[in-house]
Structure 1
Amino acid sequence: GEFASTIVGGDEATVLKLLNEGAIGSLNLTFEFEGIEGYTPLMLAAESGHERIVSLLMERHVPTRPQLTNSMMFAVCNGHEQVVDMLLKQGARVNEVGTFFRAEQDTALTRAAKHGREELVDMLLQRGADVNHQTNTFINVFNVLSKCETKNGNGTTALELAALAGKPRAVEALVRHGAEIDRISSCGPSSLIIAAAGGHENVVATLLQGGADINRGVAQERQSGYIRNGITALMCAAGNGHEPAVEMLVRHGAIIDQQDSYGRTALIDAAEGGHERVVEKLLQCGADLHQHCRHGSALMEAAYMNRERVVKTLLRAGADPVARDETGSTALQRAQEGDSAECLQVIKQHLAEKRREERALEARTRREQRARAEEAAARERQQVARKREAERAADAARRAAEAAALEEQKRAIAAETEAKLAAERAAAEEEARAREVERLAAEEVLRAEQRAAAVERSAARAEQARRSEEEASRRADEEKARRLAKAAEQRAAKKEAKEKKKE
């Protein structure tokens, strides 16, 4: 015990003295410390983060690989980066499960993630740590989130443990190195659901940026023993009362009214847990106030759990206190079943106030109906008066129209008579003009005939003169022809006489 205290206290000089005196014959020396058996000097020095003592121990005695790995994992738990680096360089295996951690099947990376050692997570990943190594750690989002259970089987990875610890830098590093972001084990939730259940909104944001499925549901066993399938990150954040995480999930597209296998929603979980501000936030975002699960509505669950402030909030928002669940129970009956005296009183007061409001509404409705009836009667009287006035006006207008029509008829007859007389005068004048035109035409015809006769006489005289000229010309031509013929005969006779004379 004294030697262990010396190492833990970091008394380098005393440790060196003990080493020189041979008090530590081997690094395999084990002893009990703080009720835990199996500690070795190197493990204690590494867990305490005393680099010089770790170095002294390894200089005097060559540690085995299991000793190096166990010591490294103790150093990881307490965040001693330099010690972890020293032990890795000496041969500690980054992916080996330490003998002290076989039950959980932890490696250095899962241990660093579980304890929220963000710098060590990044260091171990750079040294080749298996980012998707599965431990036997089981996380139940309905239990206290600071605790984990150990179960055999397909357990959690470093990413889920870092999400549980609420370390966004570690989560970002793990995602960057290929961690399966939406992995769901056979006995635990996804990293996003773990972060949401713990209210780690920065981790939620990191996982959403990394592409986590915001509406993916998982199966979880509740403390009461029944298993819920289809639980989402929003349900877990709401059920644990984490308003910032709820707001972030809704802003990134979480389905507000998504139901699990029991028909439960985020609003029902928040109401059951008594988280008034989360209930208000979900209602502001449009959550269905009247949606029922197998156990009833959000109001019924809050009433059963005696969540007085939540019951008041839901009633103000319009929740129906007389609606019934599958068994026929109302919120009032559920409050009685849960011995929820405060909620029972709140619901009774609400129902009484509602009845008073209904009676007041009925009285106001009757008054309004009477007022409307009186207004209708007054309107009817006004309509009758207006109708009579309109009829009188129409009758006067009809008589005026008839008088106007008669006057118009008289004017039309007078106009017709005047038009007829004017037409007769115009016809007489037209007939006189026609006779005058006819007379003038006859005179013009006579003059034309006279001119034609004169022309004919002139033509006859011209024809006679022409014929006389032609006759005179013919006679002259005939006379000329006779003279020519006579001359020709004379020339022929002379020629004949000459010929005879020559003979």
Structure 2
Amino acid sequence: MPTPRPTSSACRGLRRLGAGCLLAWWFTVGIHAGVIHDAVLVHDLAGVRQLLLENPDLVNQPTEKGDTPLYIAVFRRYTKQMMPLLLEFGADPNPPPNQRGETPLSIAREINLRQGADLLVRSGAREDDRSRAAEIRYLTSKRDVPELSARLARHPHLINARDAYHQTPLMLAVLDERPDGNVIQTLLRLGADPNATNIFGGTPYSAAVEREHESVSASLRSRGAKETPMSRSAPLRIAARKGLLQEVQEILQQHPEWIGLHNDIQRTALHLAAGTSLPIVELLLRHGADVNVRDFGDNTPLHMAAEAGKLEIVRALLAKKADVLAVNRQRVTPILNAASSGSVPVVEALLAAGADLKNVDNLGETALHRAATSGQVELIKLLLARGFEVDALDRQKQTPLYQAVRAQRIEAVKLLLAHGAKPTLVDVTGDSPLRFAERNKREELVKLLRAATPAP
């Protein structure tokens, strides 16, 4: 069975922090972790088993952030094989909380991994306020007002219980793409704090203002929400995000001190403009915006511009000494983002500025893997012409061809096969491009792959 693969763009269109995509930014496994954690991350069952046979103590080895292998298996939703394997070898279902204040059970509750939570409980995991609070936050995101009210009636002290980003249920409710007034009113009625801050200084009120949820903002003010520098400076970021040049100019004339202020996920006006508007980017840079400022995931404005494929903005940022080798928490550089977007001119501009095409992310994905996944044929041609190995392996031992097949990128598959990509190379789970296509009944792909497979 193929393993789920997170993408660097998993947080595009983000709505909230905590459970879901942004929790992934905490898991930088592979930078300071051990071999066992790397093997769990890529679902290498055989590798994990061999490591534990050789050294059983590895099963409870924590990373520098306090995550044992079981934490990683839970977060990656590996309930069918990896979690049972770790528990079989003696993984502690009640390890000390990690640096984020989580346990495996609380993570399972936070992401609604019911099968995983049940397995942990059967293995001796204890319910506590961490896991109860996580489920309350999940119920908030699910908008299940009756069950949410019932849980808070039993555990009223958890009304403001925070997640890994110190966000309360109320904050998560406000950060929903379409906030549910009933959920918000229920939480406020039960004592939710409208001024509780997350680790970046954001409050439910500042988040509502930032996202232009006017009715929510009014409700929070009626319950005592206070203005903060973040909420007061939100108009600048809103205008930058919308590409409103004149409005940005007027705001900066009145409040030049807002230039470096960020929102509840540490994004500044420059971050928000970098994917949309060259004139606003140039204006912000003239007013002294930090070209290498980092957001919650260590993304710089150059990461944003590269992902959006904005050549002129990339050039403007590079002219102001943007760090072309900046690495975010998932070890993604701007050129890897550009590979995902498929912009050959952006890739070439970054290369001219000193970018390294050999950079890989925390899953070992190369620029070629990313171009194959998104079906960027012209970029694939460029990368192969520059000497990229057509069957480069990531940490799951998957090739660009596997990614193109999985994403049903027919033209990319044809191009890779024409350059000698092998359809039968197996990954850590024993899967191959051909097996994947056959199993999922991708008839056109099966025909192409079989035609390129040497006879036995």
Tell me the TM-score normalized by structure 2: 0.41
Normalising by structure 1, report the TM-score: 0.37
Q: RCO higher in 1 or 2 (8 Å CA, sep ≥ 6)?
A: 2
The structure carrying a bigger helix percent of its residues is 1
Say which one has the larger Rg: 1
